[in-house]
Structure 1
Amino acid sequence: MRATLEKHQVWLYLLAIAAGMAIGWARPEVTALLEYLLWPVLGLLLYATFTQVPLTHLATAFRDMRFNVALVLGNFVIMPLVVWLLLLLAPADPAIRLGIALVLLVPCTDWFISFTHLGGGDSARAIAASPILLILQIVMLPLYLWLLFGEDVVITSLGGHFLPVFFGLILAPLVLAWLTEKAVERRPALTGQIRALGWLPVPILALVVFMIAASQISLVLETGSMLPMLLVIFSLYLVAAVLVARLLSSVFRLPGQRGKTLAFSFGTRNSFVVLPLAIALPDLWASAVVVIVFQSLVELFGMTAYLKWLPGLIVGTDRHIH
């Protein structure tokens, strides 16, 4: 049942966005309330998602060094270079460019695992790698933004807004999730609580995109002319992710399952983690919110294509593994 929900989640999000835009258009007076409620809902979403990442078993994630080197090289060196190239196609609007960079520079740690499982990848390694991806993206994102946008932009426009959100809405749920996992280790009877929390990310994310669509309807309409170009950029990114995964699978002689895992990791982005950062920015950067939400929708359709085409695009190289 949970796998079915995750497989068809894109339609749930589309329905939530349509409903949110309709309510935001018809009842604009509710938008202020939705913006206020958005923060605790985002905190719950992040907590529920982080509990599905094996934070207390970080050491086990380092056992398959060949796979991990390929994963880190792709996510934190090659794909950021791809993002830099794609920004050459982006509109001149700084907020649009920032939104693209924010969402494409951070690898996913949640539905990446779900799609890896559904697509015949190595879900065990995906789970083990998630803490590495999560920690590295938190460390690397400020560096990427500094390289792409310069020190002045990062410090004056972003620094004062990112740090409170990072500590209050990302680090706090992360620590709480770690404490939850430690409690489950001490009392295995609580394992069912973790499983129950695993049901929450999809419906809560649907609620989040509903609230954003309702509260940001005017902004969506204002930036609508940018969406075709964004569709091209995000689609090119998904194609590049597969090509990079094929290349690294060959270079590191990885079995087909692990090659597919690389593709799902490079293709999926942590949109909901950077979403609070974008929402917290001044109005000058407001369009970044629309960019991030739109990317998540393009990505979900892209993952549907991945599920269909990846088995033929990334084949096994198990004959090289002894």
Structure 2
Amino acid sequence: MLKNRVAKTVSLFTHSTSLLLAAIIVGSIVGLMSPKMGSVAGNYIDPTILALVVLLLFEVPIKGIFKGGANIRFISLAWILNFMVIPLIGFGIASLFLSGKPLFYTGLVIYFMAPCTDWYLGFTRLAKGNVELGATLLPINMISQLVLFPVYLLAFNTVIEYKIDLSVLMDWFIQPLIAAAVLRFCLHRFIDRILPLCSALIPLVLMLLVGQIFAANINELAAHLSIVPLLLFAIFVFFIVTFAVGELVAKVAKLAFPEHCLLTFTTGARNAPLMLGLTTVAMPDQPLIYATITIGMLIEFPHLTALKAIFLRRYKASESAPSLVNREA
């Protein structure tokens, strides 16, 4: 069931770049043509965020996540990379390219610091990686990034001018968490039918949120369009560097192909939807930060698709190698 679900999920997210662009364009047009409608759209951002967070938490599997739990070595390695090494890399790249633009710098740091908790598993499956071990990482990644979110913001000097109300932030996590847990308990008999629907709703709700943000804030964003190429280049550099680091670590640790593949996707995919939701709560009325997180997703999906192609090529090469040896023998 897990394999089928992640395959369906990734098929939705591989088309999300065009959906995301459509949401940005439609939201921007609405905001430019009718600021009043843009303001109305902005008034409904909070309910959309709550819906998105509930769906993300609901999708995290409860059963079967411990199948790969015995591989402590890999889990520790992935955790160190995801929550110690990569946030430092992201901080360095954001500082190098946008240290003079604090709002864009903050958005980049937030985007870089949180590993994905959903679609990376689908790409891992399609690239012949270790899906069961990847499922074990889901709750670990989710809990770790929620706990470390305010820590990173303070450690990387992103919130000098902003005051985070941690009690409000926790309320916005605890309430959706309780709602997701209650829904899972009440609907456990129908979970196999509901999870595909949840997977289909997540990108749609995310696109709605992006459209609302751009509709409500496009007039302010339009004044900073010259920064977008620099943002895109910084994100591109981040993905190249993290891929190189993952390749080095996998080689030094002598990971087998399925674990090597999983390590690449768990370190390469970012959790932009959840970070976008948390950031709108922690830092209200900061559209430039929200836009930066959203822009990251424009490069992320093509990046993950390219990684899938690389690992499928490697997989096919490794499968054909024994047959070539046999022929020569």
Aligned match for 1:182, one of 168, 185, 188: 185
Unpaired stretches in structure 2, ≥5 consecutive residues: 1-7, 319-329
Cα distance change, pair 304–188 in 1 and its aligned pair in 2 (3 A): same
Q: CA deviation at 1:245?
A: 1.6
Q: Distance in 1 between matches of 2:184 and 2:67?
A: 15
Give the letter aligned to residue 82 of structure 1: I
Residues 240-289 of structure 1, C-alpha deviation per residue, up to 9 Å, x if partnerless?
A: 22112212212322211221211111111111212133334254x44211
Aligned match for 1:34, one of 41, 47, 55: 41
Aligned match for 1:23, one of 22, 30, 33: 30
Give the letter aligned to residue 46 of structure 2: W
Aligned to 1:252: 253
Q: Distance in 2 between matches of 1:138 and 1:249?
A: 27
Aligned match for 1:105, one of 113, 118, 126: 113
Cα distance change, pair 139–190 in 1 and its aligned pair in 2 (3 A): closer
Residues 167-193 of structure 1, C-alpha deviation per residue, up to 9 Å, x if partnerless?
A: 233332122222333344xx5244422
Aligned to 1:195: 196
Give the letter aligned to residue 17 of structure 1: I
Q: CA deviation at 1:38?
A: 1.5
Within a 5 Å distance, the mapping from 1:143-158 to structure 2 comes to 143-149=151-157, 153=159, 157-158=162-163
Give the letter aligned to residue 142 of structure 1: P
Within a 5 Å distance, the mapping from 1:220-239 to structure 2 comes to 220-239=221-240
Aligned to 1:319: none
Contact 2:23 2:211 in 1 (8 A): yes
Give the letter aligned to residue 136 of structure 1: S
RMSD of the TM alignment (CA)?
2.5
Q: CA deviation at 1:295?
A: 0.9
Contact 2:17 2:297 in 1 (8 A): no
Aligned match for 1:63, one of 70, 73, 80: 70
Aligned to 1:130: 138
Cα distance change, pair 93–52 in 1 and its aligned pair in 2 (3 A): same
Q: CA deviation at 1:292?
A: 0.7
Aligned match for 1:168, one of 171, 178, 183: 171
Q: CA deviation at 1:143?
A: 2.1
Contact 2:129 2:258 in 1 (8 A): yes
Runs of 4 or more, structure 1, over 3 Å off, are 1-4, 55-61, 310-316
Unpaired stretches in structure 1, ≥5 consecutive residues: 317-322
User: TM-score w.r.t. structure 1 length?
Assistant: 0.87
Cα distance change, pair 97–163 in 1 and its aligned pair in 2 (3 A): farther
Give the letter aligned to residue 5 of structure 1: L
Aligned to 1:86: 93
Larger-Rg structure: 2
Give the letter aligned to residue 163 of structure 2: L
Secondary structure at the counterpart of residue 159 of structure 1: coil
Does the alignment pair 1:6 with 2:16? no
Give the letter aligned to residue 80 of structure 1: P
Q: Distance in 1 between matches of 2:191 and 2:287?
A: 41
Secondary structure at the counterpart of residue 249 of structure 1: helix
Q: CA deviation at 1:200?
A: 0.9
Cα distance change, pair 5–274 in 1 and its aligned pair in 2 (3 A): closer
Q: Distance in 2 between matches of 1:219 and 1:276?
A: 20
Contact 1:71 1:262 in 2 (8 A): yes
Does the alignment pair 1:115 with 2:120? no
Contact 1:219 1:290 in 2 (8 A): no
Secondary structure at the counterpart of residue 216 of structure 1: helix
Aligned to 1:269: 270
Q: CA deviation at 1:122?
A: 2.1
Residues 21-78 of structure 1, C-alpha deviation per residue, up to 9 Å, x if partnerless?
A: 1121112111121111111112111211222212466655632112201210110111
Percent of residue pairs bearing the same amino acid type:
23
